[in-house]
Amino acid sequence: MSTSLKIRQVFIFFITWLSYASTYLLRKPLGVIKPDLEKTHHLKKTEMGWLDAALLLPYAVMQMLLGSLGDKIGARKALTICLIGSAFSMISFGYWKSYLILASLLFFNGTFQATAWPNCVKALSSWYSDEHRASIFGLWGTCIFAGGIMGTSLTVYLQYIYSPELEIVFIIPSLIVFVIGLLVFSMLRTPSELNIEIPGKTQATEATSGENVEPLGVLDVCRLEKVPELLVAVICVKLVRYCLYMWLPMYLHEALKYSKSQAGMLSTTFEIGGVLGSALIGVFINKILNDREMMGCFIVIVLSAISLSLFLITSSWGLVYNLTFSLLTGMFNCGPTSILTGSIPARIGQKVNAQATVSGVVNGFGGAGAIVEGPVIGVIVDYYGWSGAFYFMVFLSILASLSLLKGSQDDMT
């Protein structure tokens, strides 16, 4: 492999990593500022849960409807629209007091961000060989959780300085995302645009690579091999992740009595665990399980259910235990995400020349699970307390692992 190709691969890895990580600068603030929203806007937990849904509903649905956009106009243009549109939708969020306007802005943010994941997956997968896909996506998937850490840390810092005023909390992240959108538009390219052939990469079959092939619909994708099992797992895993993303700071503040800034920073250990898990799972699958991706994810998600249980059991034992099990939960819940929504869909989609479409549908279904996170957790906490929310997440993790076990059977034969 030539040095110039390696340089291009590293650059594409970096720019897509940065692009997706930046989306969390405009997602994570909502979870961190919940105590301020509760106080200044006099919102109940259920109402704050519906704000989560206002963001995550369009994010899920539009991924399924617009997932093929990158296959039609190219990943560069689709990703640029995503980032710049997201920045404009959230830049004024902190100025509004109307619940309806806040929900509307979150809706637009979710709509624009819906095309981020499938187009990052499409752009990245086009530059790497099939042999290295799992390890590359595992390492690249650290952007999800590194983005969460950056989003939380920046929000906590701005909140500490400007709270209870929230204007700057959204202006600065919006400007950062806007600049990254311009960078993507000017610099992101695919191998086909540059007439570069990637060694070891399977090309789409002639029957599916023509321009006149009708794009796959949502139902068509759902009928592809292994996709049903994948959808169940992704729905459950992402629902658990967003439960912790959006509510862990408030749980730490309200139930375990940390200060708002302490709770916000402590919650980043979940994302730190996600970085470690995502970086290691690709190597684990490649070196130990001989590329059996679903089996690897099954094992890790079983460990996620165990770590969630231990997080609840040891929650009153002090800071060290809170840090340890938050970190482990992040490793085992978040680690498989890039494989489940990136590597496996890219492999399935490559066979029918529809990487962005398949990835968008799979990740969109996962987002559909995350939609109900806000209202459901709000109701569970109001009626059954925080322990009820943890029991719910353990159940979801078990369900996800069983679905992956079923999907991995073909890999074992």
**pLDDT of residue 211 exceeding 50:** no
Contact of 136 with 128, CB cutoff 8 Å: yes
Residue 200 forms part of a structural domain: no
Range of the domain at 77: 1-192
Residues 187 and 222 in one domain: no
Residues 263 and 311 in one domain: yes
Measured CA to CA in angstroms, residue 174 lies from 24, 89, 98, 167 at distances of: 11, 9, 20, 11
**Phi, psi at 395, each rounded to 5°:** -60, -45
Contact of 346 with 133, CB cutoff 8 Å: yes
Q: Which of 126, 146, 128 is nearest to 136 (CA)?
A: 128
**pLDDT of residue 212 exceeding 70:** no
Residues 231 and 363 in one domain: yes
With residues binned 3-state (H G I as helix, E B as strand, rest as coil), the percentages for the chain, rounded to 5, are: 80, 0, 20
Residues 257 and 346 in one domain: yes
How far is it, in rounded angstroms, from Cα 243 to Cα 381?
Answer: 12
Domain boundary among 192, 227, 255: 192
Q: Residue 249: what pLDDT?
A: 87
**Average pLDDT score over residue span 368-393:** 86
Residue 114 forms part of a structural domain: yes
Residue 309 forms part of a structural domain: yes
Residues 266 and 313 in one domain: yes
Residues 150 and 277 in one domain: no
Residues 129 and 227 in one domain: no
Residues 133 and 267 in one domain: no
∠ CA 407-115-130, nearest 5°, is 45
Residues 259 and 324 in one domain: yes
Residue 199 forms part of a structural domain: no
User: What's the mean per-residue pLDDT of the chain?
Assistant: 86
Going by the DSSP 8-state scheme, the letter that residue 224 receives in this structure is: S
Residue 221 forms part of a structural domain: yes
How many alpha carbons lie under 13 Å from residue 98 in its C-beta half-sphere?
Answer: 5
Structure tokens at 392: 């719910």
For 242-271, write each residue's pLDDT tens digit.
889 888 988 999 899 998 888 888 988 998
Contact of 291 with 157, CB cutoff 8 Å: no
pTM for this structure? 0.75
Band the pLDDT of 205: cuts 50, 70, 90.
Answer: very low
Domain boundary among 145, 160, 192: 192
Residues 234 and 184 in one domain: no
User: Residue 14 sits in a domain of what CATH number?
Assistant: 1.20.1250.20
Domain boundary among 158, 192, 226: 192
Residues 286 and 338 in one domain: yes
Residue 286 forms part of a structural domain: yes
| Number of domains present in the structure of the chain | 2
Residues 187 and 227 in one domain: no
Residue 116 forms part of a structural domain: yes
How far is it, in rounded angstroms, from Cα 88 to Cα 86?
Answer: 6
Q: Which of 395, 360, 23 is nearest to 240 (CA)?
A: 395
Residue 70 forms part of a structural domain: yes
